[in-house]
Structure 1
Amino acid sequence: MLLILLGVLIMHLVILILLIVSTAASAWSVGGDMSTDLWYNCMTSNGGYHCKPASSEDWIQAVQALMILSLLFCFFSLIVFVFQLFKLVKGGRFFFTAIFQILASVFVMCAAIIYTVMSPDDGSVKFGYAYVLAWVAFPLSLISGFIYIVLRKKE
Structure 2
Amino acid sequence: MLLILLGVLILHLIILVLLFVSTAANAWTVGGSSSTDLWYNCLTTNGGYHCRPASNEDWIQAVQALMVLSVLFCFFSLIAFVYQLFRLVKGGRFFFTAIFQILASLFVMCGAIIYTVMGPQGDSSASYGYAYVLAWVAFPLCLISGLIYIVLRKRE
> Shorter-chain TM-score category?
over 0.9
Q: What is the distance in 2 between the residues matched to 1:130 and 1:120?
A: 15
Q: Deviations over 1:54-95 (max 9, x none)?
A: 000000000000000000000000000000000000000000
User: Which residues of 2 match residues 1-155 of structure 1 at below 5 A?
Assistant: 1-121=1-121, 122-155=123-156
How far is the alpha carbon of 1:52 from its aligned partner? Answer: 0.2
| TM-score, length of structure 1 as denominator length | 0.99
Q: Secondary structure at the match of 2:27?
A: coil
Deviant stretches of 4+, over 2 Å? none
State the 1:47 CA deviation: 1.4
Post-superposition CA distance 1:15-45 (Å, at most 9, x none): 0000000000000000000000000000001
State the secondary structure of the residue aligned to 2:154.
Answer: coil
- Relative to the length of structure 2, the TM-score reads 0.99
Q: How far apart in 1 are the matches of 2:25 and 2:107?
A: 18
Q: CA deviation at 1:46?
A: 1.7
The alpha carbon displacement at 1:5 in A equals 0.1
Aligned residues: 155
Amino acid at match of 1:32: G
- In 1, Cα distance between equivalents of 2:52 and 2:25: 15
Unaligned runs of 5+ in 2: none
Q: Letter of the aligned partner of 1:146 in structure 2? A: L
Secondary structure of 2:82's counterpart equals helix
Tell me how far apart the structure 1 counterparts of residues 54 and 126 of structure 2 sit (CA, whole Å).
Answer: 16
What is the deviation of 1:13? 0.1
SS of residue matched to 1:154: coil
| Structural RMSD (CA) | 0.4
Corresponding letter in the other structure for 1:38: L
Percent of matched pairs sharing the same residue: 82
Gaps (5+ residues) in structure 1? none
